[in-house]
Amino acid sequence: MINIVNVSFRYSPDKWVISDLNLKIAPLTWNIIAGPDGSGKTTLANLIKGILKPQFGNIIFSSANEMNRNEVAYIGGGYSTSVVGITVLDDICFGMENRCIPQSEMYKRVRNVLAWTGLEGFENRLTHTLSGGETQKLCLANVLAVGAKVLILDESFSMLDNSSRYETRLLIGDLKSALGLTVIEITNRSKDLDFADTITFLDYSKQAKVYDSPNKFLSSPVGKQWLIPQGGTQSLLNSFSSGNASEVIRVLHAVNIDLNQNGILI
C-alpha cells in the first residue's frame, strides 16, 4: 500500500501545486492518474518516487515486506536519456553494479529480465541501434533487474507508435501479474483506460477524485468532460485496443451515456 496523507507541495511560496492531498494506492493494481496540464500529475509522481519532498504531509509505504522507495521505479517519456551502457548487457548491469549486487546474482537477474522483456539474444546489441519499443523494454529490464516493485510510468509511451505502445502495455500487464507489480501511470489518452483498475483525476482544485473502474470514470461528469478535448466518445471508440469498440458502446450504454448518430456524447 502507498498511503499519501495530507500531502502539500509548492515550487514557489505563493502557488501550491498539490494541497492537502489524500490518496491510497493498493498493491498489485494498475492506477491511472489523469488530469489537465498543470494539475500536478508529474509532481505527484515525483513525490511518490522521492525525487521531491512534500512541504507538508507524508507518503507512507507499507506492505508485507515493508516496501521502500528503492523498489519504486520512475520511467518518463524521454526514456532514451536514461540509457547509459554501450550494449544492452552493459546497460542492465549498470544499475546492479551501483547497488553492489554480487556478480553471480547479477547474471542470474540478467537472464531473468531478458526473458521477461523479450530481449533474449540482445545482450551484445549496441543500445543506440535499438528501436523505440526495444529501448522501452530495456528500461523495463533495468528497473526489474534492481528489484522494482512499483512502476511509475510518466507518459512513458509518448514516443512510441500505436502498435509498439499497445505491445509494451500488454507486456507490462503480463509482468504485473507474473511478478506482483504495482503500476502508476500518468496519461491523458482515452485508449489507455482499458488497462486501469482505478483512475485518479487531478484538477486545478489540487484535490483527487478517485474512480474504482474506467466505467465509473467515463459515466461521471468529470469523465464526460474529460473526453471532449479528445474528440468525444467517437475518438474513444476508434482508439480502444483489439477491436473492442462494440464492448465500449455496451459499457457506455450501461452507464447511461447516450451517443448521437456520429458517436458523440449527448
Last residue within a domain, chosen from 212, 230, 248: 212
Distance of alpha carbon 69 from the chain centroid? 16
In this structure, the answer to whether residues 205 and 218 fall within a common structural domain is no
**What are the backbone angles phi and psi of residue 106, rounded to the nearest 5°?**
-60, -50
The whole-number pLDDT of residue 218 equals 85
CA distances in angstroms from 177 to 84, 116, 117, 225, listed in the order given = 29, 12, 14, 32
Q: CA-to-CA distance for 98 and 50, rounded, in angstroms?
A: 18
**Residue in 187, 210, 203, 212 with CA at minimum distance from that of residue 18:** 203
Count of the separate structural domains present in the chain: 2
In this structure, the answer to whether residues 163 and 236 fall within a common structural domain is no
In this structure, the answer to whether residues 73 and 175 fall within a common structural domain is yes
Examine the pLDDT at 259 and tell me if it is beyond 90: no
In this structure, the answer to whether residues 194 and 229 fall within a common structural domain is no
pLDDT tens-digit map of 150-177: 999 998 887 778 888 888 888 999 999 9
In this structure, the answer to whether residues 175 and 251 fall within a common structural domain is no
Q: CA-to-CA distance for 212 and 198, rounded, in angstroms?
A: 4
DSSP letter, residue 52? S
In this structure, the answer to whether residues 131 and 262 fall within a common structural domain is no
Domain CATH code at residue 118: 3.40.50.300
In this structure, the answer to whether residues 133 and 15 fall within a common structural domain is yes
Give the helix ranges, DSSP H, for 181-220: 214-219
What is the extent of the structural domain holding 32?
2-212
In this structure, the answer to whether residues 170 and 44 fall within a common structural domain is yes
β-sheet bridge partners, residue 252: none
Element (H, E) at 199: strand 198-202
Least confident of 22-31, 78-87, 184-193, 240-249: 240-249
In this structure, the answer to whether residues 52 and 142 fall within a common structural domain is yes
In this structure, the answer to whether residues 255 and 175 fall within a common structural domain is no
In this structure, the answer to whether residues 235 and 143 fall within a common structural domain is no
In this structure, the answer to whether residues 231 and 192 fall within a common structural domain is no
Q: Considering the chain, what percentage of its residues have pLDDT values greater than 70?
A: 82
Question: How, if at all, do strands 2-12 and 56-61 pair?
Answer: antiparallel
Question: Which of the pair, 36 or 250, is modelled with greater confidence?
Answer: 36
Q: CA-to-CA distance for 25 and 182, rounded, in angstroms?
A: 9
Examine the pLDDT at 253 and tell me if it is beyond 80: no
